[in-house]
């Protein structure tokens, strides 16, 4: 079985696991005010399994509209689609004004947030890693290592401080620089989908973008949703813990998401911008619980890159943000207040 197929199956299993948790707790007692069945849709988008579930609406048009947003933003943020705006930026073919590339509002917004997290992590997370990440292939199953000289040359182009963004105008400080927004794009898209659903009158929903979970409100009866924190590399996407979520985002970054093994060594997609190779810091995953999903995306990657000690300190410095770190020995490390705030229960 190829690594790509393993990745897709794992994502699908995680989506089914989340839905199964919801279904179990719905079945515990009748809820007269709720629709007889949630309205749900699943599709392969954004290079992952996307599932949207509406609990207080039977409007198929609203559900379809939310799914269409994925396609709309993929045409902006994709690094690999030749027609996308980001692809054309990296290729140097976007329109320019006085030597600066002209970005759309969504792309400028996401780049700005990406630069903020690059600065917050002091470059441990860096959106200019595009020249390096393009050398790695974690999905085809070929298990090929990039050439060391190619990585060295690409690293010379990685430095978020060489990107200038003023409004919608972007300038690169070095020719050949490329942006990779994959670490924060899904969170941004989930937030926009939530905004759309609220505008359409939806008050209870789950947005699942390949394991990036964003809850809209609670269940129609007022009870919180129960979201599992995945146990890395476990069979059938077993949970390490379950949290009760009310209108929050739950986002995880882990070495189990996209990886391959070669000569007994595991290579994963969380790359160190300073070395060009995967991080090796004793962590297997970081889960962030926050209000905005884009923050969960940016922080889960940043905190993983920083490691347990520095990542925990970063989370503790941010109001309304909580984290669960899982180390290679399988131990869970919670930031202060997480267990009490979200009534976390550990899985057997």
| Per-residue pLDDT tens over the stretch 158-186 | 999 999 999 999 999 999 999 999 999 99
| Mean of pLDDT values over 336-344 | 96
Per-chain mean pLDDT for the chain: 90
Q: Quote the pLDDT of residue 35.
A: 52
Check whether 4 has a pLDDT greater than 50: no
Total Cβ atoms within 10 A of residue 32: 6
Check whether 14 has a pLDDT greater than 50: no
| Mean of pLDDT values over 22-32 | 38
27 confidence band (pLDDT: 50, 70, 90) = very low
230 confidence band (pLDDT: 50, 70, 90) = confident
Q: Quote the pLDDT of residue 62.
A: 98
Check whether 320 has a pLDDT greater than 90: yes
| Mean of pLDDT values over 264-284 | 94
Check whether 347 has a pLDDT greater than 90: no
| Mean of pLDDT values over 56-85 | 97
| Mean of pLDDT values over 218-239 | 88
Write down the domain spans for the chain: 3-75+183-346, 82-180
88 confidence band (pLDDT: 50, 70, 90) = very high
d(CA 100, CA 80): 22
Q: Quote the pLDDT of residue 18.
A: 43
Check whether 11 has a pLDDT greater than 80: no
> 6 or 129: which carries more pLDDT confidence?
129
258 confidence band (pLDDT: 50, 70, 90) = confident
| Mean of pLDDT values over 43-62 | 96
129 confidence band (pLDDT: 50, 70, 90) = very high
82-180: CATH superfamily: ApbE-like superfamily (1.10.3980.10)
Q: For 105-127, write each residue's pLDDT tens digit.
A: 999 999 999 999 999 999 999 99
> 195 or 15: which carries more pLDDT confidence?
195
| Mean of pLDDT values over 309-332 | 97
Check whether 288 has a pLDDT greater than 60: yes
Check whether 26 has a pLDDT greater than 80: no
| Mean of pLDDT values over 231-249 | 88
256 confidence band (pLDDT: 50, 70, 90) = confident
CATH fold of 3-75+183-346, please?
Answer: T-fold (3.10.520)
């Amino acid at each position: 079985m190829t690594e790509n197929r393993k990745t897709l199956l794992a994502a699908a299993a995680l989506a089914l696991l989340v839905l199964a948790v919801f279904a179990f707790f719905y079945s515990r007692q009748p809820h007269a005010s709720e629709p007889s069945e949630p309205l749900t849709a699943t599709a392969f988008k954004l290079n992952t399994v996307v599932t949207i579930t509406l609990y207080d609406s039977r409007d198929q048009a609203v559900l379809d509209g939310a799914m269409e947003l994925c396609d709309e933003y993929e045409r902006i943020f994709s690094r690999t689609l030749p027609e996308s705006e980001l692809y054309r930026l990296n290729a140097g073919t976007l329109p320019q004004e006085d030597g600066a590339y002209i970005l759309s509002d969504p792309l400028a917004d996401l780049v700005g947030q990406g630069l903020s997290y690059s600065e917050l992590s002091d470059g441990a997370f860096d959106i200019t890693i595009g020249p390096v990440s393009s050398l790695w292939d974690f999905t085809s199953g070929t298990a090929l290592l990039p050439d060391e000289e190619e990585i060295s040359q690409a690293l010379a182009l990685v430095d978020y401080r060489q990107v200038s963004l003023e409004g919608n105008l972007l300038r690169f400080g070095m020719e050949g620089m490329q942006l990779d927004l994959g670490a924060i794009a899904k969170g941004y898209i989930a937030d926009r989908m939530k905004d759309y659903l609220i505008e359409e009158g939806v008050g209870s929903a789950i947005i699942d973008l390949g394991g990036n979970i964003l809850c809209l409100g609670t269940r129609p009866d007022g009870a919180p949703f129960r979201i599992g924190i995945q146990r890395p590399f476990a069979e059938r996407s077993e949970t390490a813990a379950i949290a009760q979520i009310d209108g929050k985002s739950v986002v995880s970054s882990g070495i189990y998401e996209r990886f391959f093994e070669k000569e007994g060594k595991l290579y994963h997609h969380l790359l160190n911008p300073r070395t060009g190779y995967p991080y090796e810091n004793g962590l297997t995953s970081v889960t962030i619980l926050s209000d905005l999903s884009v923050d969960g995306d940016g922080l889960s990657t940043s905190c993983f890159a920083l490691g347990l000690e520095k990542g925990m300190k970063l989370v503790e410095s941010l109001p309304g943000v909580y984290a669960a770190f899982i180390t290679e020995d399988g131990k869970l490390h919670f930031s202060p207040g997480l267990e009490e705030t979200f009534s976390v229960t550990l899985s057997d």
